Amino acid sequence: MNRVEILWNGWRNDYVKSSNGSQGGSVFTRLINSGEPDRSVFIVHRSHTCFAVLNIYPYSTGHLLVVPYREVAATDELTSEELVDLWSVVNDGVVALRSSHAPEGFNIGINMGKPAGGSVAEHLHVHVVPRWTGDSNFMTAVAQTRTIPEALDVTYDRVKHEWPVTRDGIG
């Protein structure tokens, strides 16, 4: 029988406690209202109704989250404009990541609600995860640990540089 070893990462406790919404909205709402410069919080793009931010706990290098500004829990709570904008930004993220990191594929998805795996269930967000053949290595299998080969600030610069300029000049 395989036994899962525990790697304690107490630094994630702040994140877990911060995502419960009791401190002025979700972690995404607080991020967007923080007043911090986009680069310092890894926001690579802002559109009219949503933004793209690097996941600071990524599954792989370049893991983006596309998040509506308005805090809603599900896709059917978005306006038509928000829904179209959200998927346009997801697509622009794919374009930027293809250019900046040349992944072989992508996982793109939404976890709506806690039972679906939503860690920030109160604020809808789309995961855009670049993937490469063999990118899951032995560390995940034997130590329940992910290795990310690039620092977030380097990823930020690469993705930001390749973000396409949209029809309205936002880029």
How would DSSP label each residue in 45-59? EE-SSEEEEE-SS-S
Q: Give dist(CA 5, CA 164) in Å, integer.
A: 43
For the question of residue 101 being annotated catalytic, the response is no
Query: What Rg value do the Cα atoms of the chain yield, rounded?
Result: 16
Q: Which residues contact 63 (CB under 8 A, 6 or more apart)?
A: 54, 55, 127, 128, 129, 130
Say if CB 121 and CB 133 are below 8 A apart.
no
Q: Which of 48, 125, 127, 161 is catalytic?
A: 125
Written as one letter, the residue type at 157 is: D
Is residue 107 within a helix (H) or strand (E), and if so which, with residue range?
Answer: strand 105-109
> What does the block give as tokens for 75?
């896709």
Per DSSP, the three-state class of 96 is: helix
Say if CB 71 and CB 29 are below 8 A apart.
yes
Write out the catalytic residue numbers. 125
